[in-house]
Amino acid sequence: MAVLLHIDSSSLGSASVSRQVAQSFLAEWQGEVVHRDLAAQPVPHLTAAGITARTTPAENRTADEADAAAIQDELINEILAADAYLFTVPLYNYSMPSVFKAWLDQVLVPGRTLGFGPEGAATAGRPAVLISARGGGYGPGTPNHGKDFAVPALEVILGDPKILGMDVRVITPELTYAPTMPALAELIPLHEASMEASHREAQAQAQALTASLAA
């Protein structure tokens, strides 16, 4: 049975649009799910001990290095054990939530996850669905076009062969502020259409990945 690693990072809990769309994916996924909620249980930011522990033999590590290495081992083992990935990473202030960046900094390790070496990334080719809700619209022709610094960065980090090399599929529910901000009220129909399309795409991706991984 295929294993899905689901990483949540929205601070809004059940009110999060990214999480709501993720639920449509999970409703169709057939397999095991390992869930880590970074908003509820943030991982520590990378420290000097966390960096030096990567090149220090276990028997020579300080107590701080041993603790930092244990955290990285736990997170990296989760990644390596999964067959597919679901990342819910909303757009916060034009970028990703800090808790998700902290998680990335802990797991991007040369010789273990990164694809710098001749063998490439350990996760190369594995499917990943990235759900990133945003309060406005960021597509071509919108005032915010070019100001999304989350999805483009994550497409590189998750998908570049020299980094994690995953097969990344992106779902972006937009205009989530429209129902609550009077200035955006005229955009509610576009928001509703974006939500419907995002839920459908999440369901379709789950069905397709379940089928492909079972083949």
137 is in which domain, residue-wise?
A: 3-214
Adjacency order of strands within the sheet including 3-8: 32-37, 3-8, 84-88, 127-131, 167-171
pLDDT digits (tens, 9 = 90+) for 172-206: 999 999 999 999 999 999 999 999 999 999 999 99
> What's the pLDDT at 32?
97
User: What's the whole-model pTM score?
Assistant: 0.95
| Pairwise CA distance, residues 144 & 116, whole Å | 34
Closest CA to 179 of 161, 192, 169: 192
Tell me how many domains the chain contains. Answer: 1
User: CB atoms < 10 A from the CB of 126, how many?
Assistant: 21
Which CATH number belongs to the domain containing residue 28 in this structure? Answer: 3.40.50.360
